[in-house]
Structure 1
Amino acid sequence: MDRIDALRLFTRVAELGSFTQAAAHEAMTPGAASKQITALEGRLQTRLLERTTRSVRLTDAGAALLERVRPWLDEYEALEDGLSEDRAAPAGLLRISAPVDFGARRLVGPIAEFMARWPKVEVRLDLTDRMVDLVNEGLDLAIRIGNLPDSALIARQLAPACMTTYAAPDYLERAGTPRHPDDLADHQFILDRNKPTPTRLKFTKGDETVEVRVSGRLSLNGAVPAARAAEHGVGIGCSPSWAVDDALQAGSVVTVLPDWQPDHRDLWAVFPSNRFMTQRVRLFVDHLAECFRDGI
């Protein structure tokens, strides 16, 4: 095994936390994989992994090596993809981060379709609402909804994420139905802390734009939980349409201020700017753009 293969094996062990799983992926025995890592540690004169009978974890030196070697291996694979005509089909691990609600509701289906089309591609999907560090966490891309303040990333806009204002019929019977965005200030509003400004909303009707401040007793983080809270009559919500469609169809919530459009957000695929984009990443982003061509 050459040094590139040894580094690739080390990366696989670190990602999976298992010699057995990494060895199976590289078509070798766990004992052979362990010997290769030991040889790599000997060449580098440092221990990279702490091994126990139940787990494998990185040492500080191993974590430092992983951070440096992972983007380099990605670039090397991208070079191979571009130069080798024999590798027309994408292969390898695709590491994706996405918001919890959107990933579970709208992203798993496209991922399954992509994996069915390209059977040599593996996917590791991390669902989290925190703003991940793509470079330090070794991610190939992140799916984000909203604005992109981080200039260290490159991005591709995939689709608009249209917003809907909604409430349960029984809430509107008790509290009244808003006729103008300014009326929202007198209502209980469900505050989604995943939004950059959960207490400030902007609405547009034709050439007229109105910005309003809202407040409410319930704050949470997530579009789907906000819709569920509205179904229980807690107050009025404003969320991406994909998170509310089921409730609207069921009649458990209805649209509020239908003539006023809340500011929409955008769906983005973002990538680290310091590494080449591999074939599997390019194809996956193209696949998402096709899946969401009509918006989300």
Structure 2
Amino acid sequence: MDRIDALRLFSAVAELESFTRAAERLGLTPGAASKQIAALEERMQARLLERTTRSVRLTDAGRALLDRVRPWLMEYDAIETGLAAEQAAAAGVLRVSAPVDFGAHKLIAPVTAFMTRWPGVEVRLEMTDRMVDLVDEGYDLGVRLGHLNDSSLIARRLAAAPMSLLAGSAYLEAAGAPAHPSDLSRHDCIIDRNRPAPMLWRFQRGNEQAEAKVSGRLTLNGAKAAVCAAASGAGIACTPEWAAREAIDAGDVVEIMKDWTPEGRDLWAVFPSNRYLAQRVRLFVDHLAVWFKDGLCARETA
């Protein structure tokens, strides 16, 4: 039993004037309760209770201790109860980290729908392309794209994030369209620094795999920026389908080399631990899983 429990036992004995009834209230045996009070008196270097065969009464030292600890115990119990209730309730601040492009273009709608469903939750969405430390920086949850390396985090896969190889029609008319990944070394490729290994693109066709070491005169960071650059004729981009779908459907860019599938990534929700996970975090992860269950391009609004 820790010191807080010992003080709580002492307070109960003083209130009930009985070791037996106090032990019963706290789920202890009378013998165990008596030993704990004796240990408390030894720590305090004072006799706290006068014991007789018929009653238990406070000494002057016991009364002084009770006057000090009773308000503190009440406050502690209130804090403990409040924290437990907050953990169980869908309320409070939810701190989320997400990549800039994905956060701006794909997370705002599900976040808004979640806040509508759970009005007690305040969402603080921090969009950054650096790899944040969720624990040290105080985030409840990270939304990440790619392959996860941090084994200390709990991760839940939300959806696949396929890639598209594309270019603008003006570029293709001038430079021609590649037919095989090896052809990409002769093309101007748009380098997105946000990608892992941005100058090494991997592809698959059935059981066949290939990789291309690419280069280009334009280097940037951001999937949407790469799509815009491809649409303007800057070269060939290999970018997430969710970032390119609108431009593809509008005819601003053309998907090329369709028989070769670019290596895709996954969308993940990551968080420090399943233990004592706040209810608002659990609900938000479940919400994202349902929102993206049909893929990242399935819907834009609730």
* Deviation (angstroms), 1:276: 2.4
- Give, as a single letter, the amino acid of the residue that structure 2 aligns with 1:80: A
Distance 1:76 1:291 in 2: 33
Q: Give per-residue Cα distances to partners, 1:90-124, cap 9 Å, x unaligned.
A: 11100001000001111000000000001111100
Aligned counterpart, 1:221: 221
* Deviation (angstroms), 1:79: 3.7
- Give, as a single letter, the amino acid of the residue that structure 2 aligns with 1:157: R
Checking the alignment, whether the CA contact within 8 Å between 2:154 and 2:274 is kept in structure 1 is: no
Which residues of 2 match residues 72-91 of structure 1 at below 5 A?
A: 79-80=84-85, 87=89, 90-91=90-91
Is the partner of 1:139 in helix, strand or coil? coil
- Give, as a single letter, the amino acid of the residue that structure 1 aligns with 2:272: P
The change in CA–CA distance for 1:195 and 1:76 in structure 2 (over 3 A counts) is farther
Give the share of equivalent positions with the same residue, in percent: 57
Paired residues in the alignment total 217
Distance 2:234 2:247 in 1: 15
Distance 1:234 1:81 in 2: 52
Q: Give per-residue Cα distances to partners, 1:175-220, cap 9 Å, x unaligned.
A: 0111111111100000111111111111111111111111101111
Is the partner of 1:160 in helix, strand or coil? strand
- Alignment of 1:139 onto 2:139: yes
Aligned counterpart, 2:158: 158
Is the partner of 2:126 in helix, strand or coil? strand
Query: Where does the alignment leave 5 or more consecutive residues of structure 1 unmatched?
Result: 1-74
Distance 1:172 1:151 in 2: 43
Distance 1:76 1:212 in 2: 58
- Alignment of 1:124 onto 2:157: no
Is the partner of 2:148 in helix, strand or coil? coil
Is the partner of 1:257 in helix, strand or coil? coil
Distance 1:249 1:120 in 2: 38
Which residues of 2 match residues 15-164 of structure 1 at below 5 A?
A: 79-80=84-85, 87=89, 90-164=90-164
Distance 2:295 2:81 in 1: 35
Is the partner of 2:267 in helix, strand or coil? strand
Q: Give per-residue Cα distances to partners, 1:253-281, cap 9 Å, x unaligned.
A: 00011111001100000111386211000
Checking the alignment, whether the CA contact within 8 Å between 2:188 and 2:215 is kept in structure 1 is: yes
Checking the alignment, whether the CA contact within 8 Å between 1:78 and 1:277 is kept in structure 2 is: no
Distance 1:174 1:105 in 2: 32
Checking the alignment, whether the CA contact within 8 Å between 2:193 and 2:220 is kept in structure 1 is: yes
Distance 1:288 1:248 in 2: 25
Checking the alignment, whether the CA contact within 8 Å between 1:78 and 1:279 is kept in structure 2 is: no
- Give, as a single letter, the amino acid of the residue that structure 1 aligns with 2:207: D
Aligned counterpart, 1:196: 196
- Give, as a single letter, the amino acid of the residue that structure 1 aligns with 2:134: L
- Give, as a single letter, the amino acid of the residue that structure 2 aligns with 1:124: R
- Give, as a single letter, the amino acid of the residue that structure 1 aligns with 2:129: D
* Deviation (angstroms), 1:80: 3.0
Distance 1:169 1:78 in 2: 58
Distance 1:217 1:196 in 2: 19
Checking the alignment, whether the CA contact within 8 Å between 1:180 and 1:257 is kept in structure 2 is: yes
Is the partner of 1:156 in helix, strand or coil? strand
- Give, as a single letter, the amino acid of the residue that structure 2 aligns with 1:267: L
- Give, as a single letter, the amino acid of the residue that structure 1 aligns with 2:287: H
- Give, as a single letter, the amino acid of the residue that structure 1 aligns with 2:163: M
Checking the alignment, whether the CA contact within 8 Å between 2:86 and 2:92 is kept in structure 1 is: no
Which residues of 2 match residues 232-251 of structure 1 at below 5 A?
A: 232-251=232-251
The change in CA–CA distance for 1:266 and 1:76 in structure 2 (over 3 A counts) is farther
Distance 1:277 1:197 in 2: 34
Distance 2:214 2:275 in 1: 42
Is the partner of 1:233 in helix, strand or coil? coil
- Alignment of 1:278 onto 2:282: no
Distance 2:240 2:102 in 1: 10
- Give, as a single letter, the amino acid of the residue that structure 2 aligns with 1:92: G
Q: Give per-residue Cα distances to partners, 1:227-259, cap 9 Å, x unaligned.
A: 011111000000110100111111110001111
- Give, as a single letter, the amino acid of the residue that structure 2 aligns with 1:110: P
Checking the alignment, whether the CA contact within 8 Å between 1:114 and 1:287 is kept in structure 2 is: yes
CA RMSD of aligned residues (A): 1.7
